[in-house]
Structure 1
Amino acid sequence: MAGPLQKNKISLGSKDSSYLISDSFASIIKHILLAVITGAIAWAFAAILKEIIVHSNEYLFSNFQNDATYVLSSSHGNDLIKPEINTPETRSILEHMKSPWIFLGIIMIGAFVRAFLFRSKSWHTSQGDGATDTISYFLNTYNQSGAEQIQDRYSKPTFLEAIRRMFITALTLGAGGSGGLEGPIIPIGESVGSGICKKFGIKDQNTLRTIQIAGIAAAVCTLLNAPFSSALFALEVAYAERIIYRTFLYSIFAVITAFYLNRIIFSSESASLFHIPQEHAYTLMEYVQVSIVAIFLSAPCGLGLKLFFNYLKKKTQSLPILLAAPIGALCVALIALGLWFWLGIEPKYILGMSEGTLSDLLMGSGSPLLQVWWILLVIIVAKILSTGFTLMTGGSAGLLVPAMILGGTMGAVVFHLHHFIPGLTHTSPNIFIIAGIASALVAVIEVPLASIALVIEIFGSVYTPAVLLAVSVSHLLTRKLKNHFNISY
């Protein structure tokens, strides 16, 4: 997902010498205070953006409510669906769609505004997911002297860049684009960390890097409400297989600050992106069976996502800057509206962050269409296409949340098809879904430790064995496939 190739991350990260630093008590206190201040301000930026996105999506997608009554019809109970007719409860999809033109107008207006802003060079850094450029730029500082790095970073916008990124992201995801919020959150957190260091006159490059990572970690924690995973994610996405413990420990103070503010400002339900039930423990054989099935579908799904995005990027690079965003937004709108008219699939399962998809799958709530395996496959394809058109035409969004959605949905597909696999008799889809999330996360983003910690922190320790197995096998399989097909990230 973010930054240069893994080998480049490891190579440049190996130049870090902060482990040789012996902090004095005054230095420890200074770094903790900087981390706490950074955590609080990064939380404010990320929380405002998150609320804007969530509430705008709720309003936008509330125009699409499919209240038709469905019955499942097949020998296995979920192969085909037919809406019951001639009953008082059954209503036409068209009667429940308030106005597709409002949605189409909003997503296109957002795209045209973005296209207009991108005409100015000062807004160019706010295109795309932002994570890739941020991490690449961060690692390239190891090729600079301390004075060069400090001067170079401070000469560029910090808080202003965070505000610009927030605005573009709101115009992308808030207007109905498809993608995750963690991509834009990374440059926002880095900009806040750099801004804090600039305001306090920090001249040490190791301190600057530490607070930049702390800002990223705090911003991600605001989104996911998982402090340990967020600190680990910030390090792994920057350094790959090398963990800088000094930076990690100071980042903990930033994520705890963000986590605490999440808890006291928001309810426990709204603070978490996903809402899931806790379950009983499963047998070891169930973990092994379901994890293997989910892995071998979710890992290729993640790799297919990257292959498609690389292809789409090549095709859209030649588009004029004023046309790229509107064309991408129009494609996204046509996908969502087409599936709404054709199959009654609500756009909330395809557009925006789509975080409600996982919650509905795990809770067994939401649209009854989510109980049909081929509908889930349609949602997977639509999510890949809509996210690709959003990101590859300059939209500000990320891949972490879409990876979770795709993996979890693929896991649900496996559950509904499990009757074709001898020996699988599990009655709940949740372990399939969780294993799919874990394997897709590591396949797309390549942060195995953070993937393990994130899934366990969000969904519960009861899934630990399945998550460990899913991440381990998926990471090994993904690396092999990447090398074989020469897939770059």
Structure 2
Amino acid sequence: MNFTPYQKIKSKRTLAVLAAAAVTGVLSALLADTLKVMTEHYEEHFLEQMRHNNYLIFLLPLLGLSLIHILRRFLFRNKANKGIKEVLDTVNKKGNSLPAYKIPSHYFNGFLTVIFGGSTGIEVSTVVSTAAIGALSSRKAGFLRRYKTDLVCAGLAAGVTALFNAPVAGFLFAFEVFTKRKSKLHSASVITAVLTSSLLTHFFFYKQIFHFNITEWHLNALPSMVILGIAAGFNAVYLTKSVLFFKNLFHSLSNDYLKVIGGALFISTLIFIFPDLYGDGYEGIKSLNDLKPLPVMNVMFPLFLMLILKPLITSVTLGAGGDGGVFAPSLFIGAFLGLIVCVTLNHFFKLDLIPANFILIGMGAVLSASIHAPLTSIFLVCAIADNYVLFIPIVIACLVSKAVASFLFPYSVYTYKAEYGNTSLKL
């Protein structure tokens, strides 16, 4: 078969784009995996130190937020970090791009936020950093600029893949949240980055975050999954509105020192009373899964408080200058909500529901409603479970929670834009 010169050029460019996507996938995996390993190590270290001296918590958030403020002011020249909203603008608006400084900025700010107790996670920091890697790749050759969106999506999909060892969730996250582009080259670019990221993570960095023993579920539990989905939708909207409210509140404060000191004091006080609120909260999820015996109704008040306080402390963390988002908080809230729903229904209706199932399904349901991405949430939670036993109930809960959240409040923190005079607060 003879190819025309145009076809040859097109073929070479396709191979070049896929090669750039592969490099983006490798670099994104290295960034995500090293950030994950370092954050987990130092978060565990500081948590262990707090067990010996719990008053240490009144120093850690202040130190973390102060370091972030210093880095932003003197190293990054007070350039704003707008998080996922900035990635969305890059993908959907011509001319916008993610500058290279976003890579170290979000990497170090996300790391410092979580290890010093800021009640969020590294997921959004990773997404923005890896998206910036994709944007940087698109600037390395003149013709690659046309494929900026493809490489940005390749980078962020590779980042999510590495964090959770969830290639399908990484692929779907790029399409559900950022772009609906359906070109073959776009899909191939994202798949290439996801595969390279997954391979690198699997062979060199793989570590299961949670260990759920999921073996079965019962058909008579499906109505309970719907109830959990409805409750998850309400909780997700509460989280979203809390973040928007406190972003607005802290935005209105002109004194940066007041933001840092006031935010740190609020965070420290809540963590002093409820240590499970420290950092990404994954230790709290693990403790729920290992909880024996299960709580009974008259001692469940602390679990209910987690549903109220986690959105508040997350919102203050972000408002006071911490780097992160609602990804990890959604998983945390969902785990506690799932256990609460399970214990409540078992107590009043003697249903014999399986707590581990509800913890896991709750995680997916709240995440689905918070980021308006049910498909991503379904496959992410299946990756966390390391099996697809709960696929059907997870699908039901995630779709119900997303529908409820969209009905109550049609925005996520990624898509909401609030006006402040002539400026806008971008989340």
Name the count of aligned residue pairs: 406
Q: Is the 8 Å Cα contact of residues 370 and 376 (structure 1) preserved in structure 2? A: no
Identity of aligned residues (%): 23
Structure 2 length normalisation: TM-score?
Answer: 0.87
Of the three residues 341, 351, 354, the one matched with 1:414 is 341
What residue is the counterpart of 2:54 in the other structure? Answer: 100
Of the three residues 256, 260, 265, the one matched with 2:204 is 265
1:205-229 CA-to-partner distances (Å, cap 9, x unmatched) read 4422111111111111111110111
Provide the rounded CA distance (Å) in 2 between the counterparts of 1:304 and 1:427: 26
What residue is the counterpart of 2:281 in the other structure? Answer: 354
Per-residue deviation, 1:277: 1.8
Q: Residue type of the partner of 2:284? A: T
Provide the rounded CA distance (Å) in 2 between the counterparts of 1:217 and 1:194: 13
Provide the rounded CA distance (Å) in 2 between the counterparts of 1:23 and 1:279: 52
Matched residue SS, 1:63: helix
Residues 209 and 369 of structure 1: CA distance in aligned 2, closer, same or farther (over 3 Å) = farther
What residue is the counterpart of 2:268 in the other structure? Answer: 333
What residue is the counterpart of 1:83 in the other structure? Answer: none
Per-residue deviation, 1:198: 2.2
Per-residue deviation, 1:472: 1.9
Provide the rounded CA distance (Å) in 2 between the counterparts of 1:126 and 1:165: 11
Structure-to-structure mapping, 1:67-86, within 5 angstroms: none
Q: Is the 8 Å Cα contact of residues 14 and 185 (structure 2) preserved in structure 1? A: no
Q: Residue type of the partner of 2:200? A: L
Structure-to-structure mapping, 1:46-65, within 5 angstroms: 46-64=32-50
Note the residue ranges of structure 2 that are not aligned, 5 or more in a row: 1-6, 417-427
1:300-334 CA-to-partner distances (Å, cap 9, x unmatched) read 00001112222222221122223323321221011
What residue is the counterpart of 2:423 in the other structure? Answer: none
What residue is the counterpart of 1:308 in the other structure? Answer: 242
Q: Is the 8 Å Cα contact of residues 127 and 159 (structure 2) preserved in structure 1? A: yes
Q: Which has the larger radius of gyration?
A: 1
Q: Residue type of the partner of 1:53? A: T
Per-residue deviation, 1:399: 0.8
Note the residue ranges of structure 1 that are not aligned, 5 or more in a row: 1-20, 65-96, 142-148, 340-344
What residue is the counterpart of 2:104 in the other structure? Answer: 163
Of the three residues 250, 266, 279, the one matched with 2:189 is 250
Of the three residues 197, 207, 210, the one matched with 1:274 is 210
What residue is the counterpart of 2:364 in the other structure? Answer: 438
Per-residue deviation, 1:263: 1.8
Structure-to-structure mapping, 1:383-394, within 5 angstroms: 383-394=310-321
Matched residue SS, 2:391: helix
Structure 1 length normalisation: TM-score?
Answer: 0.76
Per-residue deviation, 1:101: 3.8
1:140 paired with 2:93, answer: yes
Provide the rounded CA distance (Å) in 2 between the counterparts of 1:384 and 1:22: 54
Matched residue SS, 2:73: coil
Provide the rounded CA distance (Å) in 1 between the counterparts of 2:404 and 2:14: 41
What residue is the counterpart of 2:64 in the other structure? Answer: 110
Residues 371 and 379 of structure 1: CA distance in aligned 2, closer, same or farther (over 3 Å) = farther
Residues 451 and 41 of structure 1: CA distance in aligned 2, closer, same or farther (over 3 Å) = same
Residues 457 and 114 of structure 1: CA distance in aligned 2, closer, same or farther (over 3 Å) = closer
1:473 paired with 2:400, answer: yes
Q: Residue type of the partner of 1:467? A: I
Provide the rounded CA distance (Å) in 1 between the counterparts of 2:72 and 2:157: 28
Of the three residues 22, 31, 40, the one matched with 2:26 is 40
Residues 366 and 22 of structure 1: CA distance in aligned 2, closer, same or farther (over 3 Å) = farther
Q: Is the 8 Å Cα contact of residues 442 and 474 (structure 1) preserved in structure 2? A: yes
Residues 62 and 22 of structure 1: CA distance in aligned 2, closer, same or farther (over 3 Å) = farther
Q: Residue type of the partner of 2:218? A: T
Provide the rounded CA distance (Å) in 2 between the counterparts of 1:333 and 1:446: 31
Q: Residue type of the partner of 2:43? A: N
1:188 paired with 2:138, answer: no
Per-residue deviation, 1:60: 0.7
Q: Residue type of the partner of 1:453? A: F
